[in-house]
Chains A and B, each alone.
Chain A
Amino acid sequence: MACPKSASAPRYALALVNDRRIALVPPRYGPDVIGGAELVLREVAHGLTARGWEVEVLTTCARDHHTWANHYPAGTTVDQGVTVRRFPVVQDTDGSARALLTSTMDRGEHPTIAQQEAWMNDGLRVPELFHALLDDAERYRAIVVSPYLFWTTFAGGQVAPGRTILRPCLHDEREARLELFEPLFGGVAKLWLNTDPERDLLDEIWPAHSPAEIIGEGVPVPDGYDPVGFRARHGLGDRPFVLYGGRREGAKGWEDLLDGFARTVRKEDVDLTLVTFGVGEVRPPDDIAHRVVDLGLVSDQDRDDGVAAAAAYLQPSAMESFSRTVMEAWLAGTPVIANAASAVVSWHCDRSGAGLTYDDDADLEQCLRFVAEAPGDAEALAKPGRDYVLDNYTWPATLDRMEASLEAMS
């Protein structure tokens, strides 16, 4: 039986190729989605749209990256000029392949390709998104997929590798070394990286990677800050506080930070509160619960006012490929205390001179003591941070680099 041709003109034939149409493929998308990579892609979408690009976002219906529950309705909507096409997440596997891979790697053994493939497909999958890309890939000048570890990136990045840009947000984690990812790192048209340390890591793990460009990302520069109003709105009084914003979970170093903070304040001579906002459960130890304030989700303005009011911003994550919140802190003139295990954040601190890094709880305690006991010096330490961000990580400069990279694609 021959393959019948449709009597009606297929939509693919009608969709004219637009030289300035691009697709962005994040695993989640929306104003209420918490996640650095997702947030950046949303700003990229808006920024490029404002510069005359036709941007389509192909993403899931999920908002929460723990449950991957379909929260938004499937279908097409428009977000400030950006076409957003949402596809439902399918989760119908039992997680055993994920558990097997984890236990295999925990034993120091290397999983087989079959185990790696089963692991990748044993979680969220978005078949409709895959097929939308299969249908429409040639309509786009470029397809930007990010970050590397997600199924949407892995599957979507292999549909039309010749026009795919991988923005990996690479971390030094064991999954990054799975052979499974070689087609992404070595097969796509190009990679967009954030920093030099990310390139060093890429060179180390995937020496035969596709051409890579350091594009970086931008951080919006607030018009002003209201630290006093922030304290008043949240009843924080006059006690100095250190701040952490983002995902409160083990992968981001939250629990280790809480331990280190608790160890320090239990000595009862460090006068600091830990204020935090974002998603995830905070779970402070009972004896220091009064020294930990959870604000939950806050507005962008509240976030900016918060970092301006803080004595220091804390970045406990060892798995950062950029660290946008560190930039926000420096823009507000606030010093940063960061986990030295993150090569990227250490690099930022070293280059800017506006941050301290710690290797263990003893270091962390001393950093906290510094901002608590020498606030003037801490403020002076933070001074070069704002210029560092303005010189390197504003959206206009970042979008210039992105446009040049996109235009270089044939």
Chain B
Amino acid sequence: MSERILVVSPYPPERDGLGAYAVQQVRALRRAGNHVEVCSPRPSAAHHHLDLVGPTGARALARLARGFDRVIVHFHPDIFYAVPSTPTSRISTGVALAKAFRSMPPVEIRLHEVDARWASASEQVEASTRSGFLAEGVFAAAARATRSVFRGAAEITVHDAGHRDLMVEAFGVRPDRVRVVEHGADFAAHTTVDRATARRSLGLPDDEHVFVCIGFVQPHKGFDRAAAAFRGLGAKGASLHIVGSVRVDDPAAAEHQRELEALEAQIPGVHLHLGYVSDELFDRWIVAGDTVVLPYRHIWSSGVAERARLHQRPVIATRVGGLAEQLDDIPGSVLVDDNAGLAAAILAAVKGGTFRSADTVPATDEARAGGWSFDGAVDRDAVMAEVHRRSAALRGVKVDPTAGTRAPRKGEGSAAVPLRRLRHVPLPPATSARPGVSTVKKLIRRVIAWEVDPLRDQVTRLHEAAIQAAETTDARLEHVEHEVEPPVHD
């Protein structure tokens, strides 16, 4: 029987991972004959848009949901909770959202991400600087409110058994209300080209082993880990392509971009392709690749893995979130536990190694070497030079891979050193042995934070920019010196 369904999610043409997922589900539901309307948190191609943050958002959603047979909520905390959230805001939002979910037609929460600590008072206490009876009471109430949101839904759908267990054990949702659905159940291919055509269109050589890291460029995606693991493989007929766009309005992502650019400059074979990636281009990169690399630091589940499955490309991934379960039936896929394992898996792939499905690759000595290699004897100068080059990359300084590998001699100046030794402006500790003073200090900090924090942030940014400028100058000077006076090896 046809149903009236409300889907709540970010939505195209806004570019968003959840939106890309939701639109495929909407298409499938509509093609099954249902009447589907979409509500997005910002204006989009959705039929409705509402600011869904906080209790007001929850109430507005409850009003909108009237008249539908059921509601599917693509849940990400940022859609409903203030960012950053506080325990008190989680109480007010959680209570309102739970009430809304209970009053609405049956709600399916399709869970994409939630912080498991929110369901536990003790874990929130551990993660917080606050303590004491009052704080514990607030955290307990926040945890109850968060759990009630998920208990208020008629059904929770998750992408793997681990998340099902989490919902049942940590959030107290009845087991019969949690269902595992395939992440890629509604996915359709966005390209029909073959590997050779895809490579030609992207300017990739036919005969290289092409590794692809793709998706929004964010620190937690760990693309820097893949680049570091790739050291030394550029000369072995392989290339690593990091493809994606950076939310330039996210300072952490912008800083991460500088780090990746520096890694690209210093590791032959690593290529950065930053920019808007359409669905079609996204799939074309997957098709062009031999291996998709997902070196995530943390993730719930991966849409990229599903695109790889769709196009039958093996995946090398870190064992985080639900990836182990997701990769279980993707042929040739590999799980790794650390950076050395990642390097081993990449190296093995270049050498043509094959793995059983979702194998775990142990680190090898070669991989553990992490691409450290030196011309001639390994001496302190050479090691320190390489250390400096790599640490410079972490700070976003581009260093030519062909530049000298000599550490500065004693007494030689480095413009950046005095700046690097300067610590970031610290927050004075809001503590005191005297009774009550800590509370007063914390209160004062809260009161003046709106004025002081931006200044502190700006000083920090100036500090980082000064280091980067000085190190770039140092690197250029070293390059010039290298050109004028090539190093003499003993």
Contacts and interface: CB of A to CB of B under 8 A. Distances in A.
Contacts of A93: 43
B2 A158 contact: no
Contact of B278 (A3, A13, A151, A187): A187
B43 A122 contact: yes
Contact of A134 (B15, B26, B33, B179): B26
B12 A155 contact: yes
Interface stretch (B121-129, B244-252, B291-299): B244-252
Given A112-B248, A130-B45, A135 B281 contact: no
A92 B44 CA distance: 11
A410 B197 CA distance: 15
B155 interface: yes
A134 B27 contact: yes
B2 A8 contact: yes
B280 interface: yes
A154 interface: yes
A182 B249 contact: no
B29 A3 contact: yes
A265 B346 CA distance: 76
A113 B23 contact: no
Contact of B276 (A1, A120, A131, A182): A182
A154 B27 contact: no
A131 B30 contact: yes
Contacts of B38: 127
Interface residues of B, number: 46
A121 B45 CA distance: 8
Interface in A301-356: none
B275 A179 contact: yes
B292 to A, nearest CB: 20
Contacts, number: 121
Contact of A135 (B30, B43, B70): B30
A121 B13 contact: yes
Contacts of A235: none
A120 B30 contact: no
B245 A158 contact: no
Given A155-B13, A158-B279, A179-B275, A10 B33 contact: yes
A1 B108 contact: yes
A interface: dominant SS: helix
Nearest to B46: A127
Interface in B229-279: 245, 247-249, 275-279
Contacts of B3: 4
B352 to A, nearest CB: 31
B12 A7 contact: no
B14 A117 contact: yes
Given A1-B70, A162-B192, A117 B279 contact: no
Contact of A186 (B2, B28, B278): B278
Contacts of B33: 5-10
B448 to A, nearest CB: 29
B106 interface: yes
A135 B14 CA distance: 19
Contacts of B31: 10, 12-13, 135
Of B46, B179, B249, B280, the most chain A CB neighbours within 10 A belong to B280
Contacts of A1: 70, 106, 108, 154-155, 179
A121 B278 contact: no
Nearest to B23: A134
A120 B44 CA distance: 9
Nearest to A129: B45
Interface string B105-149: 010100000000000000000000000000000000000000000
B191 interface: yes
Contacts of A92: 43, 49
A408 interface: no
Interface in B1-36: 1-3, 12-15, 23, 26-34, 36
A121 B43 contact: yes
Contacts of A155: 12-13, 45
Interface in B362-409: none
A39 interface: no
A154 B278 CA distance: 12
Contacts of B49: 92
A1 to B, nearest CB: 5
Interface in B26-78: 26-34, 36, 38, 42-47, 49, 70
B446 interface: no
Contact of A113 (B106, B154, B248): B248
Contacts of A187: 278-281
Contacts of B281: 183, 186-187
A288 B20 CA distance: 57
A118 interface: yes
Given A92-B49, A182-B278, 17 more contacts: A6-B2, A6-B32, A10-B33, A113-B249, A125-B45, A127-B38, A127-B47, A130-B12, A135-B27, A135-B31, A151-B13, A155-B12, A155-B13, A158-B279, A162-B192, A179-B245, A182-B276
Interface of A: 1, 3-10, 12-13, 92-93, 112-115, 117-118, 120-122, 125-128, 130-131, 134-135, 151, 154-155, 158, 161-162, 179-180, 182-183, 186-188, 410
Q: Which 8 A-B pairs have the closest CB atoms?
A: A6-B33, A183-B278, A187-B278, A130-B45, A182-B276, A10-B33, A121-B43, A155-B13
Interface of B: 1-3, 12-15, 23, 26-34, 36, 38, 42-47, 49, 70, 106, 108, 154-155, 179, 190-192, 245, 247-249, 275-281
15 contacts: A1-B70, A3-B34, A4-B3, A4-B34, A10-B32, A12-B31, A113-B276, A117-B13, A120-B13, A121-B13, A134-B26, A134-B30, A154-B13, A161-B278, A410-B192
